Amino acid sequence: MSKRPPHIETLAIHAGRSTDPSTGALVAPIYLTTTFERDADGSYPRGYSYSRTENPNRGQLEACLAALEGGREAVAFSSGLAVAAALIHSLTPGDHIVVPSDVYHGFRKLLDQVFGAWNIDVSFVDMTDPAQVADAVKPTTRFVWTETPSNPSLRITDLAAIAEIARKAGAVSVCDSTFATPVLQRPFDFGIDLVVHSTTKYISGHSDVVGGVLIGKEFSPLLEHLRRSQQFAGAVPSPFDCWLTMRGIETLPLRVRTQSDSALRIANFLNEHPAVERVYYPGLPSHSGHAIAVRQMVRFGGMLSFQVHGGAAEAMQVAAAVQVFTRATSLGGTHSLIEHRASIEGPLSRTPPNLLRLSIGLENVEDLVEDLESGLKPVSNKWD
């Protein structure tokens, strides 16, 4: 056996999995049980007692995700935002955190509408400018949150630079790597301490399960705290959710590669289109984060955004006219989605009203290009 760890395609099929020891079943059963039998002496020799604290499907998912990301331990939650909430729960009043000004809008709502009275000191900064992060950190800074590529403008954060600033400040660096997945980006290689994914998106990959995970590069008191938060605050994923996510992971590398290749083709098409004002895709050389993305990512992902000429009405008109794309929020599934981002984000949104976000699925890319071409026609006629 070689010492080299298996490649990600192999890990996606095998990590955390084994044939079922009692039947030889290739695919793990779903352990729909809340409780587990004790031995006569009162012990739990098989390691399971109650499904909030541990469940075989959850254990398999955590082992698989830790291996995919190259970390020590993964803690699975019932949603991506439950991971963020668990991290905020680890703070005490007066603690300071640094968060990107374009952080996932749900994270802002969580801070504002759930933890608003907790007296947490938050600095929102432009994470693409490490100097702003260096200026923002203080002795009370507990963590620096990054999200790259970001949502919806696909901005790229230099993970090595931010991890170094956090380390020097004695703070934990966190990367929400949902858009990139472990296939395209390895935050631990750049010094990041904790990686977060909304597994709702690419990792489960079929728009049928909501989940989240936090992965630690090393064991730490914070990671232990987050494990306790999972077990005793109780935002745990169900055995079926874990099983579905494991099923999705088998094809994660294949899906993400195809989606990235299709997104690049579509970004190039939109970039040349007369009805399009601007395209946001880190794979385009004109994108402000392209050079860092080339260094930090393997491909550029399946997400892109673009602004049409005009305003909200023109953007809505394009979204109304497409037929292969579905008008829906979320991302990372097999179906291509189109979304008018400002209207889902609500009144606090900083997203331009003429911006549409695309999640590229697994349909034939030429069908997707044709669909966008016909969707853009009414707007192009105005601008010819």
Would you call the peptide bond into 152 cis, given omega within 30 degrees of 0 as the criterion?
A: yes
Under the binding rule (CB under 6 A), the answer on residue 176 touching ligand PLP is yes
Residue 377, both tokens: 């026609």
Under the binding rule (CB under 6 A), the answer on residue 151 touching ligand PLP is yes
b/e per residue 189-223 (b: at least 16 CB within 10 A): ebbbbbbbbbbbbbbbbebebbbbbbbbbeeeebb
Catalytic residue at 41?
A: no
Could you tell me the smallest distance in angstroms from the CB atom of residue 367 to ligand PLP? 25
Alpha carbon distance 141, 208 (integer Å): 37
Could you tell me the smallest distance in angstroms from the CB atom of residue 82 to ligand PLP? 7
Alpha carbon distance 198, 63 (integer Å): 17
Catalytic residue at 176?
A: yes
Catalytic residue among 176, 193, 241, 371: 176
Measured from the CB atom, the residue of 86 and 222 that comes closer to ligand PLP is: 86
Catalytic residue among 31, 104, 280, 281: 104
* Binding piece for ligand PLP, criterion CB under 6 A, among 56-64, 195-203, 266-274, 370-378: 195-203
SS3 73: strand
Which residue in the set 100, 212, 283, 289 belongs to the binding site for ligand PLP (CB under 6 A)?
Answer: 212
Residues with Cβ within 8 Å of residue 342, at least 6 apart in sequence = 312, 349, 351, 352, 353, 355
Catalytic residue among 108, 142, 186, 201: 201
* Residues 24-83, interacting with ligand PLP (CB under 6 A): 79-81
Count of residues that interact with ligand PLP, criterion CB under 6 A: 15
Residue 184, both tokens: 């395209």
* Residues 317-376, interacting with ligand PLP (CB under 6 A): none
* Residues 100-129, interacting with ligand PLP (CB under 6 A): 104, 106
Under the binding rule (CB under 6 A), the answer on residue 147 touching ligand PLP is yes
Residue 131 exposed, middle or buried by CB count within 10 Å (0-12, 13-18, 19+): exposed
SS3 9: helix
Measured from the CB atom, the residue of 195 and 292 that comes closer to ligand PLP is: 195
* Binding piece for ligand PLP, criterion CB under 6 A, among 53-61, 68-76, 174-182, 226-234: 174-182
Measured from the CB atom, the residue of 332 and 375 that comes closer to ligand PLP is: 332
Which residue in the set 201, 217, 273, 309 belongs to the binding site for ligand PLP (CB under 6 A)?
Answer: 201
Measured from the CB atom, the residue of 60 and 78 that comes closer to ligand PLP is: 78
Handedness of CA 287, 270, 333, 322 (dihedral sign): positive
Task: Give the number of other CB atoms < 10 A from CB of residue 125.
Answer: 19
Closest CA to 294 of 169, 188, 197, 156: 156
Alpha carbon distance 340, 169 (integer Å): 38
Measured from the CB atom, the residue of 269 and 325 that comes closer to ligand PLP is: 325
Binding site for ligand PLP (CB under 6 A): 79-81, 104, 106, 147, 151, 176, 178-179, 198, 200-201, 210, 212
User: What positions carry a catalytic annotation?
Assistant: 52, 104, 176, 201
